[in-house]
Amino acid sequence: MTLINIFTEEAVENIASDIDLNDVIDKSRRILEFYINDVGKSSCLNEKEYLSITLDIVFCNSDYTHELNRNYRKKDYPADIITFAIFADDENSFIFDGDINLGEIVIAMDKVKEMVNKDVSGSENWKQELFFLISHGLMHLLGFDHQTEDEYNFVIAEQKKALGSIKYDKI
C-alpha cells in the first residue's frame, strides 16, 4: 500500500475557513487511490518504484490564480484551478527517498462558488464543485491532459467514476 501525503494550505488568509480540511485530505486521498488503481498504468506513475506520493492543495481566491496565470502561464485571466504537475511535466523528475512529489493543485474558492451558480459542471453545491475540481487536478498531476475531445471525454469520464466511488457532498 502506497502512503499518500496530502497537505493543504491557504494562500489567502481564512479562504478555507468553511472547509473541513481533514475531510478534503481524506476524500482527495481516496480519489487518488481510485485513479492509481483505475488508470495507473497509463499515468506518469507507470513502471515507477515508489513508497509514497506527496501533493499539495492550495486554497486561494481568483486574484491569486490571476497572478499565477500571468506569471507562470502568460495568460491574463483568473482561473478556478491551476495545477503545477511537478512529476508528470518534468522529464528529469526524480523519486527522492522513495517519494514522488506530484505537485500542487491551486483552487480559487470564489470561482468554485461562482461555478455552481453557472451550473457548468452539474454540481449541486460548492462542496461538490470543489471535489470535481480536485479530481480534475489530480488527473493533471498524474499526467493526463485534455487537448483533444477524446482526451477531454476520458478525463471527465474518469472524474465521474472517481467521484462516484466516494461520498463527496459533505465536507
Q: What is the pLDDT of residues 95-125, one digit of tens each?
A: 999 999 999 999 999 999 888 776 656 667 8
Burial class (CB in 10 A: 0-12, 13-18, 19+), 72: exposed
Q: Is the pLDDT of residue 76 over 90?
A: yes
Domain ranges of the chain: 3-164
CA 55 to chain centre: 9
Q: Is the pLDDT of residue 171 over 70?
A: no
Burial class (CB in 10 A: 0-12, 13-18, 19+), 66: middle
Percent of the chain with pLDDT over 90: 81
CATH superfamily membership of 3-164: Metalloproteases ("zincins"), catalytic domain (3.40.390.30)
Residues 53 and 5 sit within 8 Å (Cβ to Cβ): yes
Buried b vs exposed e over 24-56: b needs ≥16 C-beta within 10 Å? bbebbbbbbbbbbeebbeebbbeeeeeeebbbb
Alpha carbons 98 and 110: distance in angstroms, whole number: 36
pTM for this structure?
Answer: 0.93
Q: Which residue has the cell 517519494?
A: 99
Give the helix/strand (H/E) hosting 84.
strand 81-85
